[in-house]
Structure 1
């Protein structure tokens, strides 16, 4: 890459130095009479046309190497070729005549150069904005008319009125200023359309087009005063313009992929050009208003203002359309409430500074019966009615969103746990009132989970996860309002503000006394559920070499739809490998939750976590009998009393025959020897307290 860049730089330098040398030599003969044919040949034929020829050849070569801008560079090359032919025709054919005619055949060549020059601004716009909007093209029209008005009034005004009487001479006198006026108007259109996308190549080529106007004005002024001679200041301007073309070619970067121009252009960089054009048009009108008749500059200024009015109307229409699109992107189509995206944006703006807030998650109980029994239209009416009722029971600052289906969420800015619970109870009372849909009066209940920031989390995702756990706990209890089951646990803060539960890790050792696993429990000896362990993850120091931690799944964990994903994400944030945690299905899990338990265990295993089924010997026999529970380990709980050895032996044999692995846990200091089973006994406990790490 560096070598290629150096090679390109090396090939550019000789061209630049050659151009500079040709211009320097030509400067020695500027604005002085030629002493003879040899000097005329040197200055007016060779040096005057050398730089334009070089510029045309370079442009044609660059057009062959740049497919994206081939037509732009080739148009410039053709224009310079026609100008050179006109120059040679004038010096070699027209000037030697006793009375040089006007217009001459050279004028035909020079005027023929304008069409390819007119194409250059159009090609520049098409290569950089192939999908420009109607507003962009109106901006181009505004810029073109404003530049034409200014140029016609203050630059080309004197040349637009010709004293000649020959119709052909009058046409020729008018052709040059009108063509230059159109050329400069197209330059103004380029800047208006591209706006902030104007790059170096555009700037240089527009400068070349403007330089054509400057050279023509200087030559026209000299001819009007009767002082024009070949090699004057107008001809020098032509040579310098060709040199500028060479600079544009050798510094042209490789064109990037074109990007569409913004449909609604509202930034100051976009509106600055139209505003400036309107100011220029008003200045032209203020100058021309007192003069009799309507000049070309005045007509262009009036056209600029008219195009500006059309642009304003179109922009307002597009802004209304954009506002509607944004509103729809943040609105639930069925209920007209906020959607998940709007809730996330409002919550992020409120929670970012660490302000308190409450989050409620509501799920309708009995909605499926209405939807299936009365039809989807009735279900939709029910959701709209419920949404309106909930909205009427909230503060103006609260955000009510429908997340999907029959699930709603409420963001309560500034609310603590007490206010959040009061609001949840009020919404529950609203939801249980009868609703008339499809000519029937129906009743639905609601299960509401609540969470508060910063106690339950600092992001809307963590708050929704905590509220989701509470919602399923409420659903398991028959409906109503509930918080995350882990919320009552003490949640002290570490210096970084991360929540940590007071979790006790009870080591489980093998017969040789080596740690084989650790069991997460609460300080009072109860199994610590998944939520409590998740809160303590930053303080547990779980690494690859440490024994895995066994944690018990609560009914709310089993009933939750995002338990596996939430746990995997928490482990990832804490830097804990998934194999360091084993999720245990509890012995007292209600029977209706067993299908959900099977799905959850499969999801946990798919994410790399360990799984186990806990229970007494008889429960293990019942669970293992169907062979359908996707657990890595069957855990025999031998603590708290003696279990017949025969029952243990039969349980181990059955699970082993089904392809499972059995681990027995006992608190006996002298554990029994069970063939085919790994027996672990409990040892001392390590506490994960704030600011410490359990090992």
Structure 2
């Protein structure tokens, strides 16, 4: 109960102090307003009411506000809970400020006495009091500045230093004539000291303003009161010195001291109050203002020095200001240069850096043998398509680290873009380059973990040798690129450039261009392979298989161009074309009374399209076809790479009535849990299981058990690659639902299929 009572007393006292401080501040402002108004009224001499009573009330209220702030701050500090943390440090700046203003109030009272009742030897005491005031305020500024600079980043310190130097250069110019006049007049030490302390105070104010504007927080508003108070006070003192012989007491100049002290007192009052939530965001405009203005000031001083005589110290300070102002520009330029030569994702050198470094190293000719390796990840696009680009980016970062770990200290690794990396090996012949390629591929073969999924990747590496296969950067890069695509197409892992590869590279580039034309000039055609119902012997559907009717090379099969389609990013367009042609053909068959389901293969890159279900549904509706007219075949790779994405897309397709078939079943590396979790209708047993059935009892048993597995899960089973009657009869005996293969029919054109279907019906009608 006693603790609670003390806390309550503390809150009451804090509240009383806050209210009293606020009232005193308002009272001080009222006295100050009356005093300033009184000074503006013309009179013939000293006015007892204005220069005596009101001036005294202003000074007393200033002292009361400052000491109330000291008491309030101490009370708040004692009342603040420490929560087990360190006790907050004392803030002596308020006490020093109160002492300084009390000293000035005492000095002005003595000055008033000397004006009304004679000097009486008080002038030395008054000058000493002003000197004490400046020393105390210099100490206050030093304390505040030290606290402000604690933990400040170097850029803010630099901006603040620029601000200080710029201010000092301007002050040196302005005070040059003053110093000359004082010297000409034979000014004594006392007058010089009286000028020096206000100037030093102005300099510290400039430091405070520089730091405050560089940081730019809202809390700096309190600093503005202190800064402007000291500026007004010291400016008034300088004006007094300049008008020493003509100064008259009771003029508006006297208001400058009072207003300056009032602002300092208000700063003390505000600083003693508890901190409120402040928006600490940096004002970029304010942060740039001080260095920009100071730089302009320094430039102005140098321009002025070219036209007239300027103190040497002013020129030196201005030159230092401009020199420091150039530091951020140079630093920024260097940062931009590094950024322009660094890959943002991996932190490795980028293509530009690689080109420059290869040219530099080849020009030095310090190594007689070098090798350039171009590395491209295999099937990286499927990682992006199935797991997303974020996962693909993380994979690239990990790949970069593994590659760097497998290289020597003088070897150069760079990322060219996408999933392509380049490596320049120093002091390397062909055997050493191939050994590095094997070592890097082995490092990349170790599993990566992405999105909680453990996956393996491989790479194709092309190698070109210096100087045997090129003595400049362009030749080495071009030949390494051709070798890399040779390694990718032959699945050899790595390949060293040979002269015959040049022709292969030309063929590849020409084929890519022709592929784009094929999509726009209707050169792609579909062949159809029938699916036989093994129970009834009827044809229930067909599988659409794309062919390229090349104008010069004749009919090309998918294995001759689909890899290039993927590499060129044309798979989406190709899939759209196949769907369009297959559904158009389905319309023709429906008009002939043939109810055939057309199966279309979809690649993993096609299935990442979130709009695929809606687009397929639109294509069916536009042709007035039922959803049962189409079946989509997908691979296990897609199902296992991204289970959630597969479930979402397949569920939406199934909801529209489209059937889903899993192609090449049995060739995947994962568990069969997806058969339970994902909405699929049919499994197509890969032909590698069907081919050996006639001669391999274990293969036949495996096919039989797979058929039972599918039926147990409520799925239909299709056997691919049926090439003889033995396999056909065995599949019928095992209860397989459908079969495809050369034994029944090869993939044929739509016209040939019509003839084949007609002949089959006619043969069935013959008794």
TM-score (norm 2): 0.51
Query: For the structure 1 residues 314 and 606, does the alpha-carbon distance in structure 2 shift closer, same or farther, using more than 3 Å as the test?
Result: farther
Asked if structure 1 preserves the Cα contact closer than 8 Å seen for 2:165 and 2:317, the reply is: yes
In structure 2, the partner of 1:180 is 202
C-alpha distance after superposition, 1:208-240 (max 9, x if no partner) = 313311122213423534435699312322244
Task: Evaluate the alpha carbon distance shift between residue 550 and residue 28 of structure 1 in structure 2; reply closer, same or farther with a 3 A threshold.
Answer: same
Task: Give unpaired runs (5+ residues) of structure 1.
Answer: 1-7, 262-266, 349-358, 364-369, 409-424, 457-468, 494-498, 507-521, 653-662, 667-695
SS in 1 for 2:127: coil
Q: 2:610 aligned with 1:529, yes or no?
A: no
SS at match of 1:527: strand
Q: For the residues of structure 1 that align with 2:710 and 2:226, how far apart are their CA atoms?
A: 76
What residue number does 2:277 align with? 254
Residue 298 of structure 2: which of 259, 277, 281 is its match?
281
1:502 equivalenced with 2:583 (yes/no):
yes
Q: Does 1:201 align with 2:224?
A: no
Answer whether contact 1:142 1:274 (CA < 8 A) is retained: yes
- Structure 1 residues 240 and 651: CA distance shift in structure 2, 3 A: farther
> Would you say the 8 A contact 1:434–1:444 is kept in 2?
no
Question: Equivalent residue for 1:375?
Answer: 435
Paired residues in the alignment total 535
**Displacement of 1:392:** 6.7
The alpha carbon displacement at 1:23 in A equals 0.5
Query: Does 1:170 pair with 2:187?
Result: no
TM-fit CA distance, 1:305: 2.3
* Offset at residue 547 of structure 1 (A): 11
Structure 1 residue corresponding to 2:350, chosen from 331, 334, 346: 331
Which residue matches 1:24?
A: 30
Inter-CA distance 300–38: structure 2 relative to 1 (3 Å threshold): closer
Partner of 1:47: 61
Aligned 8 A contact 2:103 2:133 in 1? yes
Q: Is the 8 A contact 2:202 2:231 kept in 1?
A: yes
Residues 152-551 of structure 1: pairs in structure 2 closer than 5 A:
152-154=172-174, 158=178, 167=189, 170-191=192-213, 193-194=214-215, 198-222=216-240, 224=244, 225-228=246-249, 232-242=254-264, 245=267, 253-255=276-278, 273-288=290-305, 292=309, 294=311, 296-326=313-343, 328=347, 331=350, 374-377=434-437, 382-385=461-464, 435=496, 477=559, 481=563, 483=565, 491=577, 502=583, 525-531=597-603, 537-539=613-615
Rounded to whole Å, the distance in 1 between the matches of 2:96 and 2:602 is 78
Distance 1:141 1:635, change over 3 A: same
Deviation at 1:176, TM superposition (A): 2.0
Contact 1:57 1:77 in 2 (8 A): no
SS at match of 1:29: helix
Q: Distance in 1 between matches of 2:30 and 2:209?
A: 29
Structure with a larger share of its residues in helix = 2
What does residue 713 of structure 2 align with? Answer: 633
For residue 656 of structure 1, what is the aligned residue in structure 2? none
Over 3 Å counting, the alpha-carbon distance change for 1:608 and 1:207 in structure 2 is farther
Residues 310-333 of structure 1: CA deviation (Å, up to 9, x unaligned): 444334333323333357568378
Over 3 Å counting, the alpha-carbon distance change for 1:243 and 1:27 in structure 2 is same
- Matched residue, 1:104: 128
Name the SS for the 2:228 alignment partner: helix
In structure 2, stretches of 5+ residues that fail to align are 1-13, 40-45, 114-118, 355-371, 390-416, 422-429, 441-459, 521-545, 548-555, 588-593, 619-625, 694-698, 720-725, 740-767
Conservation of the 8 A alpha-carbon contact between 1:530 and 1:551? no
Give CA deviations for 1:366-412 in whole Å, capped at 9, x if unaligned.
Answer: xxxx99994224677953539999x979999xxx999xxx988xxxx
Greater radius of gyration (CA)? 2
Question: Quick one: which of 148, 166, 170 aligns to 1:146?
Answer: 166
Partner of 1:304: helix, strand, or coil? helix
Quote the residue 2:591 is aligned against.
Answer: none
Q: Counterparts of 1:609 and 1:19 in 2: how far apart (Å)? A: 77
1: CA distance, partners of 2:27 / 2:629: 82
2:103 maps to 86
Distance 1:109 1:386, change over 3 A: same
Q: 1:11 to 1:140 in 2, by over 3 A?
A: same
Cα 1:235/1:273, change in 2 over 3 Å: closer
Corresponding residue for residue 670 of structure 2:
599
In the TM superposition, what is the alpha-carbon distance from 1:296 to its structure 2 partner? 4.5
Cα distance, 1:638–1:307 mapped onto 2, change above 3 Å? closer
Aligned residues of 1:432 and 1:444 also touching (Cα < 8 A): no
Question: Structure 1 residues 251, 90: closer, same or farther in 2, change over 3 A?
Answer: same
Instruction: Give CA deviations for 1:597-621 in whole Å, capped at 9, x if unaligned.
Output: 252855x459744475456999895
**Cα distance between partner residues in 2 of 1:156 and 1:48:** 35
Partner of 2:366: none
